[in-house]
Amino acid sequence: MSYNQGNVPGHPYQGAPPGQQGYAAPPGQPSYPEQQQYGQPPQPGYGYQPPPGTQPGYAAPGQPPVAYGQPYAGPTSSASPYTSPDRAGSQHSLYSREESLIHLPLQGPPPTSPYGNAPHGHAGAIPYAGPYLKLGLCTDTAWNASVLVVSQSATPPSIILEAHAGPATLESRLIDTFMSHHFYRVDLSLQMLPGQEQKFKYHVSYNPSIQFTFHVPAADNPSWKWAFYSCNGFSLNVPDERRKEMGGVTPLWRDMMYQHTAVSPFHAMVGGGDQVYADGVFRVLPSILEWMEVKGKEERKVHPWTARMEEETCRFYCELYLQCFGEEVIRDALASIPYVFAIDDHDLFDGVGSYPEYLQQSQVFINVTRIGYRFYLLFQHHTTPELAQADGYFSSTGRGYNFYRKFGYQNLVLGVDSRAERNVHQINTPQTWEMMFQGAEQFLRANPGQIKNICFIAAVPIAYPRMGFADDALKKLGSVKLAANKS
């Protein structure tokens, strides 16, 4: 695929052909994401427009709830989170109604590499997914991050960082495995310099021919440049044909990478939830579909969780992330713009936490949620439930994963987990809310006079006006006008 760069004054790659998979950048030349020719920002008015008589959101008007009590019901469909037309290297995907990873052999590697859509180089390179660059909690002078690499190789990769003093080799550690997939994490800690933004190139040792770039802001930069997005997918009621017409989810990503490579680089990228759409977990897995045929609330609640359910569900979430995060353009952004992601329901499944008690406490819901969190933590936070507390994630119950980040010395960011402790009565426990605000207060006390803004990354409003009085007033005003018109 080629991208029309457009007329960008001074852009070094204006009119150059798009970077090819496996292109080895010569010394001093741009890294892989910089080779891509990202198009001009999209014109106003593009995007999905709901058909007449329908409304955007979770469900089409009048759609009855599905059998398992989903509160935000959409049409019964195994539609994919998004469809990427004509992408080579992904012949087996849960994004297709006809094909699914769960149909592949359970032993050994699949017929095609699950990492086949990544920009690998020479024939001898070890296939891998990633690198995924996540921002950690930075201090006034230390820039902290981590890199995740997923591979079927038992040989741990390293990250080779082109530093000012020469190349530095950073070793990885294995944090989890699933079937033949190995999840390797590399921790980065770099010194931020006063008055000087730094640009670093790096590559994964599996393939030195593919380089990536990220930018570290100056230590005295009070406010970083960062991008925000949420809902990186489509609701199930959007037909596949319409998704193809729109080019999948990539147009906005292409625009962001255009801004990052041709205008000025982003220091961070914030995802406000729904980085993936995992709603299909209740639509395509045979063992889960069998459970949905069970009649009776108590029968559904006590229905046992089986080894088959465990395997199919793990394969679903793992493949979902490999596909979503390997999508063209998205993979470039995740490797070159440090990300900070908070959770919302579609990262697990639609409406999680808001179902009746008999469903929330059923073995199926408990275990699907557990597995969804496992892969959410791996891909989006480079951690595991066992490592999360040591990595700075917290909640009063031990179930949630709230966190803090700093974007320059003036901005404190709080990522809220609005799903782990959620039920029909609460979003989080009062104790967890208290922990969040006490933690923010500690940052303020430790940085007197510096922090000017506290940004909550939350899928629900932290504070909002009660509109009942205004609604009543407007209704009364409407009644007065109606009476006046009749008189």
Q: Is 159 helix (H, G, I), strand (E, B) or coil?
A: strand
Q: Is 200 helix (H, G, I), strand (E, B) or coil?
A: strand
DSSP code string of 276-326: S--GGGGTS-HHHHHHHT--SHHHHHHPPP-HHHHHHHHHHHHHHHHHHHT
| pLDDT score of 447 | 87
pTM attached to this predicted model: 0.76
Q: What is the DSSP letter of 234?
A: -
Cβ atoms of 104 and 255 closer than 8 Å = no
Cβ atoms of 170 and 148 closer than 8 Å = no
Q: Domain tally for the chain?
A: 1
Residue ranges, the chain, pLDDT below 70: 1-124, 462-487
Token readout for 213 is 């770039």
Sheet of strand 198-204: strand arrangement: 166-171, 158-163, 198-204, 212-216
Strand pairing category for 158-163 and 198-204: antiparallel
Q: Is 48 helix (H, G, I), strand (E, B) or coil?
A: coil
Per the structure, the complete domain to which residue 350 belongs is given by 32-387
Q: Distance (Å, rounded) from C-alpha 476 to C-alpha 487?
A: 17
- DSSP run (H or E) holding 459: none
Token readout for 232 is 């990186």
Closest CA to 300 of 354, 353, 345, 361: 361
Q: Position of tokens 């008690």?
A: 357
- Residue type at 250? T
Largest CA distance in the chain: 86
Q: What is the DSSP letter of 423?
A: -
| pLDDT score of 222 | 86
Q: Position of tokens 């922090």?
A: 451
Closest CA to 253 of 330, 191, 181, 325: 330
Looking at the domain assignment, is residue 302 inside a domain?
yes
Looking at the domain assignment, is residue 217 inside a domain?
yes
Q: Rounded to whole angstroms, what are the CA distances from 462 to 78, 103, 413, 465?
A: 34, 43, 14, 11
List Cβ neighbours of 32 (8 Å cut-off, separation of 6 or more): 19, 23, 25, 119, 210, 211, 212, 332, 335
Q: Distance (Å, rounded) from C-alpha 300 to C-alpha 316?
A: 22
Angle at 324 between CA 319 and CA 329, to 5 degrees: 145
| pLDDT score of 465 | 66
For the chain, the C-alpha Rg in angstroms (whole number) is 24
| pLDDT score of 9 | 35
Q: Rounded to whole angstroms, what are the CA distances from 302 to 282, 357, 436, 439?
A: 18, 12, 35, 39
Cβ atoms of 251 and 228 closer than 8 Å = no
Looking at the domain assignment, is residue 246 inside a domain?
yes
Looking at the domain assignment, is residue 158 inside a domain?
yes
Looking at the domain assignment, is residue 108 inside a domain?
yes
| pLDDT score of 461 | 77
- DSSP run (H or E) holding 227: strand 226-229
Return the sign of the alpha-carbon dihedral for residues 418, 423, 429, 430: positive
Angle at 310 between CA 308 and CA 311, to 5 degrees: 65
Cβ atoms of 375 and 302 closer than 8 Å = no
Q: Rounded to whole angstroms, what are the CA distances from 235 to 107, 213, 357, 397, 431?
A: 33, 33, 25, 31, 33
| pLDDT score of 151 | 96
| pLDDT score of 117 | 42
| pLDDT score of 237 | 83
Looking at the domain assignment, is residue 15 inside a domain?
no
Looking at the domain assignment, is residue 439 inside a domain?
no
Looking at the domain assignment, is residue 417 inside a domain?
no
Cβ atoms of 381 and 417 closer than 8 Å = no
> For the CA atoms of 167, 268, 84, 246, what is the dihedral angle to 10 degrees?
-140
Ramachandran assignment for 485, one of left (phi > 0), alpha (psi -120 to 50 degrees), beta (any other) = alpha
Token readout for 371 is 């597995």
